[in-house]
Amino acid sequence: MPASDFESPVMIWMAGTDALCNFFNKPWLEFTRCTQKQEVGNGWAAGVHPDDLQRRLEIYLSSFHERKSFEMEYRLRRADGEYRWMLDHGIPRYSREGEFEGYIGSCVDLTSRKKVEEELEQRVKQA
């Protein structure tokens, strides 16, 4: 299959040394129905659930300053307005010379798993 025919189901983002996002892949843009121009910088933050934004920023920025990987869950608004749970994993990027170049991250929709967990929790409470 030609590389151009491959589509990742994973939403990918990248940030530069300034901690600002500078790239979002096609699945991310399709999920949010936003353009690259709308999402770069801090534009993506408009889609994060207001109850999750501060914690998400704290985890990201503290990890960024320490140059360490992170994993977190938060809700991101899909193009239809529904908030979906995301598992976001970010890792620092380095040049061949060992210079820090920013972060690359991936988001996977966890909403179905969260719903199953909630259903199981309700069943346990009712038992």
Which CATH number fits the domain that encloses residue 16? 3.30.450.20
Domain assignment of residue 2, yes or no = no
Question: What's the predicted TM-score (pTM) here?
Answer: 0.85
- What range defines the domain where residue 54 resides? 10-126
Domain assignment of residue 4, yes or no = no
Domain assignment of residue 33, yes or no = yes
Q: Which helix (H) or strand (E) holds 53?
A: helix 50-66
Could you give the CA distance from residue 24 to residue 40 in angstroms, rounded to a whole number? Answer: 8
Per-residue pLDDT tens digits for 48-69: 999 999 999 999 999 999 999 9
Domain assignment of residue 1, yes or no = no
- Which residue, among 14, 36, 30, has the nearest Cα to 90 in the 3D structure? 14
Per-residue pLDDT tens digits for 82-125: 999 999 999 999 999 999 999 999 999 999 888 888 888 888 88
